[in-house]
Structure 1
Amino acid sequence: LYRGPFAQATADWMNKNGGLLRLEDFRNYHIKLRQPVITTYRSCQIVGFPPPSSGGVHVAQILSFLERFDLKKMGANSADFVHVVSEAMKLAFADRAYWLGDPDFAKVPRGLVSKDYAARLAAQIRLDRVLPGAEHGTPDRADEDVFEKHTTHFSTADAAGNWVACTATVNTSFGCKIVVPDTGVVLNNQMDDFSAQPGATNYFGLVGAEANAIAPGKRPLSSMSPTIVLKDGRPILSVGAAGGPTIISQTVLAIINTIDFGMSPESALAQPRFHHQWKPDELLVEKRIGEKVLRELEERGHKLKVVDSLGAAQAVGVNPNGPGFVGAHDPRVEGRAAGW
């Protein structure tokens, strides 16, 4: 792909139309295999995608914050539940803005996913009110112990024991809205995922710091969060989502609904969703969460932005009634789960 007819066709088109990519840029690009981010949540092992995606780090981080709370006792979709989980999201996204970037260029601390660090930050969460002025934390040995240097998700599993969680993206809808002639390939606008300057927002309202600044050969930060959950060493859930930074929140909620509340994949994806990304300081929440919960959240200091629908997730889980699998497609969008 990077050295064949597609690369040549794209380079030719760029040359004719004032684009920046050249054939040598394709030749210099290499796929990188990286070690996954692995943590535990309750009695399960969580395996996620490493930087330069922020998904694996912050799915793991949010879940580690939430281990300190009895979410099952709070109840699914209660005001307590939404408040605590959204505060955990806020803390994680504050860290994302400061620390996350391409580990080949920036020092991304492994301590972001440590249980001790999670305990320190989670201790800031109050049940009765929002955390004012949340800022990023600093893990132990942050400069030393570091990671080595339009979105679609699908999850699948087979009888041979193979499980896959795959997320692909061109960033925003139809990327940069250009198709290279005779290829059918839509060019992405992934450059928007870099931080143009510290504190400046991108298309999704996210801010970043020097760790995610633009540099030659550098890969931009993303929120892709393909995740596989294991129990007793066996996969029980493959999940991921589309929707910019809400991907992280959607994935976390699907995992919580599965592990804490014992929901099937279909039920886990159908639950009301919410999302907080630190900046802007607003809690996105689907309106079907209910007026009572919305009112209680406002009383605790949340600035709400009520939306009809949030994101699109896909999942595969084990069949609780026998052999095989259970596939789930997000009811918010067109599509279906299939098996054969």
Structure 2
Amino acid sequence: ATFLGPRGGPRAAGEIFRQPDLGQTLTSLAAEGPDWFYRGPFAERCDRWMAEHGGLLTRADFASYTAKSREPLVTPYRDWQVVGFPPPSSGGIHVAQMLLMLESFPIGKLYREAPATAVHLLAEVMKRAFADRAHWLGDADFASVPKGLIDRAYCQQLAASINLDRASQVLSHGKPPRAQDDLFSDRHTTHLATADAAGNWVAITNTINTSFGSCVVIPGTGVVMNNEMDDFSIAPGTPNAFGLIGAEANSVQPGKRPLSSMSPTIVLDAAGNPRLSCGAAGGPRIINATLQCVIRMLDAGATVGEALAAPRVHHQWSPDELMMEAEWDPAIVRAVQQRGHVLAEPGDIAIAQAIEVTADGLLRAAADPRAKGSTAAR
């Protein structure tokens, strides 16, 4: 009822939607600090509501939570350094892993001269990355997530297994080097990219998982409770809301953080200066959308607006089907099918936002035309 009109129906286009409870929550948080949220009135209100309605969250759960600061992943890709998000997000690892596979191919030239081959190559790279994701990825504080997943030699080995003429069947995950001893230890989503004149850049992705999260708003708070538990693997091989499967590395455990696909990314040039920032919303499609934005700009020379508007593809290993957005040329779609790919029904592949630095040093931003995002400067 929080989001419906006064008579219980949908609100009209252009109608002003006010959220005074959420406004008061944010005001109190700003004034009182995090203890108000995690140990004070907000946690107490949630605890009471959960107790009255059979929920599981308690005040003790709020009090025991801490935000963690982790070292970002920094991966050399051609002449750039790609800075990404470490586990428990899978985005940083697999954007990097796919970029390292693509280093073996002239992906920019393929986009321009042989787009069907480019699509086929992307599908093959995505399959291999998502097979590894399903087996290896989880919260690195609990699971053994090998750094070898982004070992250059391992990624080149995966790339060498790709046949540019035919789709391959990827039956299982790969075996990265030092998988047991060199480890990472220590669809209602929004991405924000921002940069300023002083050279500060920020890429932020936040989420409550699927649309409207758990569909619960704690009365008096305006806060929609997430359903991030669905990002855990409840059993090996059992798909979640996005069709993703996982293994023991992403099983449910007390205090563990679920695997996500969030992929906030910043790319630095050879001198260490920010060149572009991007990220997306859209479940597992986030990873592949972010990858395609990066290579469109770095390898194919697209502007930030062109990169976000260009049609995308998505493959997540399971199910073994390739999604191509409806904007692809039908001749390209047929050529991809002839290589042996099974195509899923077309649909939008994530909602991305990005910023780039132009050749004359100006900041240029773009919002994905697939949704009603926006850009702003001040």
State the distance in 2 between where 1:318 and 1:4 align. 43
- Alpha-carbon displacement from aligned partner over 1:2-46 (angstroms, at most 9, x marks no partner): 123221111111111111111111111111111111101111100
Matched with 1:241 is: 280
Matched with 2:34 is: none
Residue 308 of structure 1, CA deviation? 4.0
- Choose the corresponding residue for 1:37, options 73, 80, 84: 73
Report the residue type matching 1:319 in the other structure: T
Higher-Rg structure is: 2
Give percent identity, aligned residues only: 54
State the distance in 2 between where 1:19 and 1:294 align. 47
- Alpha-carbon displacement from aligned partner over 1:165-194 (angstroms, at most 9, x marks no partner): 000000001100111111111000000000
308 and 18 in structure 1: CA distance in 2 versus 1, 3 angstrom threshold: closer
Whether the 8 Å CA contact 1:159–1:324 is kept in 2: the answer is: no
- Alpha-carbon displacement from aligned partner over 1:122-164 (angstroms, at most 9, x marks no partner): 1110000011234211111100000014100010000111000
Matched, 1:163 2:201: yes
State the distance in 2 between where 1:64 and 1:306 align. 29
1:1-340 to 2 correspondences below 5 Å: 1-76=37-112, 78-149=115-186, 150-232=188-270, 233-320=272-359, 322-340=360-378
State the distance in 1 between where 2:100 and 2:155 align. 6
Q: CA RMSD in A?
A: 1.0
Report the residue type matching 1:289 in the other structure: W
- Displacement over 6 Å in runs of 4+: none
Residue 355 of structure 2: SS of its match in structure 1?
A: strand
State the distance in 2 between where 1:173 and 1:338 align. 26
Aligned residues: 339
- Alpha-carbon displacement from aligned partner over 1:215-270 (angstroms, at most 9, x marks no partner): 11110000000000000210011100000000000000000001001111111000
Report the residue type matching 2:107 in the other structure: L
TM-score when normalising by structure 2:
0.88
State the distance in 2 between where 1:36 and 1:27 align. 26
Residue 72 of structure 1, CA deviation? 2.1
Report the residue type matching 2:124 in the other structure: E
State the distance in 2 between where 1:287 and 1:335 align. 20
State the distance in 1 between where 2:46 and 2:105 align. 51
Residue 289 of structure 1: SS of its match in structure 2?
A: coil
- More off after superposition, 257-266 vs 304-313: 304-313
Report the residue type matching 2:63 in the other structure: R
Whether the 8 Å CA contact 1:275–1:285 is kept in 2: the answer is: yes
State the distance in 2 between where 1:129 and 1:2 align. 53
Whether the 8 Å CA contact 1:109–1:146 is kept in 2: the answer is: yes
Residue 166 of structure 1: SS of its match in structure 2?
A: strand
- Alpha-carbon displacement from aligned partner over 1:34-90 (angstroms, at most 9, x marks no partner): 111110111110000000000000000000000000112212471000000111010
